Structure 1
Amino acid sequence: MSNIEPVRALYAAFAKGDMPAALATMAPDIVWNEAENYPYADRNPYIGPEAVLHGVFARIGGDWEGFAATPDEFIDGGDTIVSLGHYTGTFKATGKPMRAQFAHVCRVKDGKIASFQQYADTLGTAVAMGR
């Protein structure tokens, strides 16, 4: 199996709202970091799938309507997979839409995502959030 497969599976599961499948792509000790100055970076690093679920995914679900993380391109660096794409959604509290670029760097070990680092358009997100 290619190291891209668990990363693709994470996006596919997240898009369907299948959180058990999304969490299954992660190593038990995954280290997940949101981008500096991103709204969900306040609890970095998130260690383990449950921390990601409650600290990132659940908060996104509560804050955004129609949130999506859509990868446009994958760059295969062996154990390091980079995905480039866009976030879209509407911030519930303001009703403002967002389209923001992202780059995600995933390190894959033994078929699971062992680490995740987000780089994102923090201004685009902040504007939608009314900040």
Structure 2
Amino acid sequence: MTQTTLTSVQFVKSLYEAFAQGDVPTVVGAMDEDIEWYEAEGNPWHPGHAFVGSQQVVENVFARLAQEFEDFRIDCRRFLADGDTVVVEARYSATRHRATGKPLDVQAAHVWDLRNGKLVRFQQYVDTRRLADVMGVSNY
């Protein structure tokens, strides 16, 4: 599916559905080759700058989700659009963090920017204090 045949919200929703089914190649295929991916400031995975390109996103986000969390899920609650920008209110959950054994249940918001049918920018907002606690990171 291309974004040109769907509304921006339908396109982004379809990618969350693909991710939920483990279809990471579909999600990666929707990314512009120079996508800028920003983890929330305070997120233990935030390197202080954007991950650039799908390979960095896969290595530094998607692979780590699979490695560090058991049964990670994103429950999308609401989608809001302003042209080619889509905001998603969501919750992250996981049965447990593999290192700490703690379950994950935190609120999050995502801001997606699209251009020419591709994802060009992602900004995450998440309850970083709770996320760090679940991950056993003591930076608070």
Q: Distance in 1 between matches of 2:97 and 2:88?
A: 24
The correspondence for 1:88, drawn from 73, 93, 110, is 93
Equivalent residue runs for 1:1-131 within 5 Å: 1-42=6-47, 44-89=49-94, 90-131=96-137
- Cα RMSD for the two superposed structures: 1.2
Q: Considering fraction of residues, name the structure with more strand.
A: 1
Residues 43 and 16 (structure 1 numbering): CA distance in 2 closer, same or farther, change over 3 Å? farther
Question: Within 2, Cα distance between the matches of 1:40 and 1:15?
Answer: 21
For the 8 Å contact 2:97–2:135, the answer to whether it is kept is yes
Give % identity. Answer: 39
Give the drift of 1:43. 6.2
Give 1:10 deviation, angstroms. Answer: 2.2
- Segments ≥4 residues shifted beyond 2 Å: none
Superposition TM-score, scaled by structure 1 size: 0.94
CA distance in 2, matches of 1:65, 1:9: 23
Runs of 5+ unmatched residues, structure 2 = 1-5
The normalised TM-score by structure 2 is 0.88
* Paired positions, count: 131
Shift in Å, 1:87: 0.3
**Match of residue 3 from structure 2:** none
